[in-house]
Amino acid sequence: MKLTAYKFLLCCPVLLTSLLSAQSQTLRGKVEDVQNTQNQFFLDCTNLPVVSSALNLNAWVGQQAILQVVNVGTATAPVLRIDAAVATTKVFDMGNLRLGQGARWEVDAPAGSFAFMFLNFTSLTSYTPFGAFGTWLLGNGAATIASGVTNAQHQFEITYTMPVIPALVGVSMTGQALVGDHGTWFFSNADCKSIE
């Protein structure tokens, strides 16, 4: 039986979370500060709080990074302690979500890389470590939007048209990609937009 990326994501989270939750884990993303607070931070495009005694998180606000994190919360209420960060570039860029309109979404990776794009409600984001693959942030029930191969310009692009569902206006959606760079698979940064 062939194991697709989606089936892999569905069958392994509970096992991997229990095995890896107390270990250092790689995660791509950026730190954002909680507005109108002092020294409270979260992982951009998620509902995951982040803390650090090793880094000044104010210096990392808005910077895409490869983070080394440890879940110091629980499996159901994660709090990510950031122990190290290295600046990097954005891998996944989600276009706007305007009802009935198309927008360009993009994965930037070496030419010939395979990429899956996924989408879920930001309110359903979670922390699921996958060892060397990095960290899945979209929780259960994420929709697969597209898959394809990066071109000679190192891009896989699609035009995604947001369905016309007026009840969703104002709701935040988060996307993430799974990228296969010639045999090395990794999860991208999360990106998010509010539906307009």
DSSP state letters, 102-168: EEEEEEE-STT-EEEEEEEEGGG---EE-GGG-EE-S-TTPEEEEEEE--TTSEEEEEEEPP--GGG
Instruction: Tell me: pLDDT of 1 over 50.
Output: no
Instruction: Tell me: pLDDT of 12 over 60.
Output: no
Evaluate whether 177 touches 115 at the Cβ level (below 8 Å): yes
Q: Which domains does the chain have, with CATH numbers?
A: 22-87 (2.40.50), 92-194 (2.60.40)
pTM of the model: 0.87
For residues 179 and 63, what is the distance between their CA atoms, to the nearest angstrom?
21
Tens-place pLDDT, residues 39-90: 899 999 999 999 999 999 999 999 999 999 999 999 999 999 999 999 999 9
Instruction: Tell me: pLDDT of 21 over 80.
Output: no
Instruction: Tell me: pLDDT of 124 over 70.
Output: yes
| Per-residue pLDDT, 7 | 47
Token output for 8: 């892999």
Q: What number is the average pLDDT over the span 100-126?
A: 97
Instruction: Tell me: pLDDT of 106 over 90.
Output: yes
| Per-residue pLDDT, 122 | 97
For residues 12 and 23, what is the distance between their CA atoms, to the nearest angstrom?
17
Averaged pLDDT of the chain: 90
